[in-house]
Amino acid sequence: MIGTTHHAILDDPEFKELAQQKNKVSLILTVVELVLYFGFIGLIAYNKPFLAQKLEGSAITYGIPIAVGVIILSWILTGIYIFWANSVYDEKVKRIKNRFKG
């Protein structure tokens, strides 16, 4: 049994690796979301004529499916994080907790 102080947990190599993995996944997904969202906002700000164009044979403009796409991709990114957290992160947290239990 390893010591149960918070210093022992923070110094544990497996915990440090897990924290780095979580930060990496979170950072990547955050950057993708920010590029997606601010890319759409940039289109609104700088290319309104493009977004206002109607799709061929439809009354719907390009802006509507792009906006819906931004929302759906945001949900997908959230789902990716949830899947990763449930399948990888939670298992590693459980393993680390069990090692430090008295």
| pLDDT confidence of residue 102 | 52
Residues 43-64 have pLDDT tens digits of: 999 999 999 999 998 899 999 9
Q: What share of the chain is helix, strand, coil (3-state, %, to 5)?
A: 80, 0, 15
Residue of 81, 79, 89 lying closest to 21 (CA atoms) = 89
The two tokens of residue 60 are 């719907």
* Token duo for residue 84: 């990763």
What residue spans define the domains of the chain? 21-97
| Nearest C-alpha neighbor of 47 from the set 26, 20, 66 | 66
Averaged pLDDT, 73-86: 97
| pLDDT, mean over the chain | 91
Inter-residue contact 93 to 18 (CB < 8 Å): yes
Residues 1-49 have pLDDT tens digits of 444 577 888 888 998 999 999 999 999 999 999 999 999 999 999 999 9
